[in-house]
Structure 1
Amino acid sequence: MKKLILPFILIFVVIISACSNNSADKKASTSSKDDQPKTFTYQSETGPVEVPSHPKRVILLSGFTGNVISLGVNVVGVDVWSKNNPTFKKELKDVAEVSDENLEKIIELKPDLIIGLSNIKNIDKLKEIAPTVTYTWGKLDYLAQHVEIGKLLSKEKEAQAWVDDFKQRAEKAGDEIRAKIGQDATVSVFESYDKQLYVFGNNWARGTEILYQAMKLKMPEKVKEMALKDGYYTLSTEVLPQYAGDYVILSQYADADISFKKTDTYKSIPAVKNNHVYEMLGNGASFSDPVTLDKQLAFFKKSFLGN
């Protein structure tokens, strides 16, 4: 009888031991999840800010919308420029429009992180609603800015991976374009907005970062002289030929005054005569985020290369 009981006792001990180990593993797993930091200290340009490690409800008050969207982070409120940007129409369909002056609306949206430019209003009040991080436009270049936002959102690896891939794709396209149009061919970027005409330098969106920085296409000397330092320069129709390169990118808003296109001055520009003017929608062109940049890169490849 004792010989029969002993095996049963051993089996029972083994079962109890296994259950104890499983229980310990579950506790360890649960403890590991609980131990994950819910916040961390982000070193912003204005000082340290305690922010959520994985924000769930982000509000964007001035740009950077495409950066956040591309990293898969949920957005609950955006500025009017982002909301009206056709590039983000699908992604922002159910997202509220907000402003730095409509604090009540922002409170209603219960954000856990607010992002904006350094010139937004009511920063102190916004900080009382949720952790608020601001950036100075142009302090970082367009790619470094994306990586920095990646750090803020605990998505730095993903942001850097996109940057590395984009640089490679844009550089390759640039090599192909220069091979086709000539190494010394120049490109100008104009914009028609309201009743004004502008020409842009190499870091003022409208695809300028891609054309001049990534693709290394050349800028007319007159544009270098007047627009490179400040980023843009206001023009009159009469002087357009002085700033026009061999190729022209024309960003124009739907409601802009485009009467200049009917003038003899405009029609006399070699790029116009040679059908080297490539028009793109102005609405949305003033952004420099991954969503916008990918679309602009595709536009330039099709315009210059036909693919």
Structure 2
Amino acid sequence: MMRRKPYVAAALMLMLSILLPACGGANPAAGTDVPAKQTAEKHEVTFRDFQTEKGVIKIPEKPQRIVTDYYGGDLLAVGGNVVGVEPTAFQNPFLRDLLKHTQNVGEPTNVEKVLTLAPDLIVVMKPENYEALSKIAPTLYIPYGTTTNIKETVKLFGDIVGEKEKADEFLKAYEKKAAEGREKLKGIVDPNATVGLYELTDKGEIWIFGDNAGRGGQAVYNALQLKMPDINNTKNQTLQLSMETLPQYAADYMFLTTYDPEKKGDQLKKLKESKVWQGLRAAKTNTIFYNDFDTFYRYDPIAITGQIDLIVDMLIKRAEENKKSSSTS
């Protein structure tokens, strides 16, 4: 139901006058420190009802200043103006240029920092500080796993931002890129060949991933429609493997990311030197790819679209290298 009511920020300005001295040392994570717009003047904003797990929330029809924890890329994909986001978003190579004037709101979300940004909408994945944040601006709690693919995600956030046309435009561009990628891989990757997504942790754990847990899953399986290892399925979005079971989950093409925040490299070195790894079919055919964690961990719509090109280029380049190698041997 559509309603119109005055949006009065006097209370917000009073809170700002109290809290700003305490927040003066806040350190922005990226780009220029852009101060929040002055909101003391009264103006009318059109609100609408939005259903969430926390109940019906009244949100602006066209939010102008959005703060979020983990939905930065999702909101940016549909034209949302993200003024604050959690810190790891700035490590996302697909978003860096788009976040030049966006502020780091911390993890967990720093309520005082959010207040200084004067948002008119807050969108969170984590429920921590929900009550405090909801006193600043309308706050939507969208739990992890609410959406299961890029199409659902883009449509949801297009609705939240009030930009359904931009959501449609994004999806058309995504579909076009996916179709082009599939066409490029014809004659490069056998339709029956399997492709697996794996991750090695700094503790030596090995995991395999499905089509909706990052690591390039949506780009590989949904966009490019490459085949998942037969033993794995979409029920196993994440599954830990032992070295003994790894060969059962091996694929013709294997993409490995390594979670190694201290950049030690010891676990990857150990894995590469193991007889099990060296004995894998993909190791013998030179179709194992070692991928950057920050690039392939991401699963927002912008990252997924960018990953399509990266994966296609890797597969084509490796095929050319292997062909050249076999012709000279």
Q: What corresponds to 1:7 in structure 2? A: none
Are residues 1:204 and 2:204 paired? no
Q: Deviations over 1:159-181 (max 9, x none)?
A: 12211331232134235425432
1:68 aligns with 2:75: yes
Residue by residue, what CA displacement relative to the aligned partner does 1:100-119 show, whole Å, maximum 9, x if unpaired? 452122212222111121x4
- Distance, in Å, in 1 between the alignment partners of 2:165 and 2:217 is 26
Deviation at 1:230, TM superposition (A): 4.0
Unaligned runs of 5+ in 2: 1-42, 321-329
Task: Tell me which amino acid in the other structure corresponds to 1:77.
Answer: G
**Please, what TM-score do these two structures have when normalized by structure 2?**
0.74
Q: Deviation per CA, 1:77-102, whole angstroms, max 9, x where unpaired?
A: 11122133233222223422223452
1:244 is the counterpart of 2:250: yes
Structure 1: which 5+ runs fail to align? 1-34
Give yes or no for the alignment of 1:277 onto 2:284. Answer: no
Give the counterpart letter for 2:117 in structure 1.
Answer: L
Q: Contact 1:100–1:120 (CA<8 Å) still a contact in 2?
A: no
SS at structure 1 position matched to 2:98 = coil
CA RMSD, Structure 1 to Structure 2 (Å): 2.4
C-alpha displacement of 1:271:
0.8
**1:187–1:219 Cα contact (<8 Å) kept:** yes
2:310 equivalent to 1:304: no
One of 101, 106, 115 as aligned partner of 1:107:
115
CA–CA separation in structure 2 for the residues paired with 1:177 and 1:271: 18
Q: Give the match for residue 148 of structure 1.
A: 156
Residue 177 of structure 2 corresponds to which residue in structure 1? Answer: 169
Q: Which residue of 2 aligns with 1:218?
A: 227
Is 2:78–2:170's contact at 8 Å kept on the other side of the alignment? no
For 1:67 and 1:171, how far apart are their aligned partners in 2? 22
Superposed CA deviations along residues 142-200 of structure 1, whole A, max 9, x for unmatched, are 22111110111011111122113312321342354254321211000011232222110
Task: Measure the CA separation in 2 of the matches of 1:267 and 1:251.
Answer: 17
Matching of residue 84 in structure 1 with residue 91 in structure 2: yes
Separation of aligned partners in 2, 1:146 and 1:219 = 24
Query: Deviations for 1:23-51, whole angstroms, at most 9, x for unmatched residues?
Result: xxxxxxxxxxxx99533222335432211
1:287 match: 298
Partner of 1:5: none
Q: Which residue of 2 aligns with 1:139?
A: 146
Maintained 8 Å contact 2:79/2:166: no
Q: CA deviation at 1:214?
A: 2.5
Supply the distance in 2 between the matched residues of 1:261 and 1:155 (Cα, whole angstroms). Answer: 47
**Larger Cα Rg: Structure 1 or Structure 2?**
1
Q: TM-score, normalised by structure 1?
A: 0.79
State the 1:121 CA deviation.
Answer: 0.7
Q: Distance in 2 between matches of 1:158 and 1:52?
A: 17
Q: Point out the more displaced range, 255-264 or 141-150.
A: 255-264
Q: Which has the higher helix share?
A: 1
Contact (CA 8 Å) 2:181, 2:309: kept in 1 or not?
no
Equivalent pairs: percent with the same residue?
Answer: 27
Partner of 1:229: 235
Displacement of 1:125 in angstroms is: 1.7
Deviation at 1:54, TM superposition (A): 2.4
User: In 1, distance between residues paired with 2:169 and 2:113?
Assistant: 35
Match 2:58 to one of 45, 50, 63 = 50
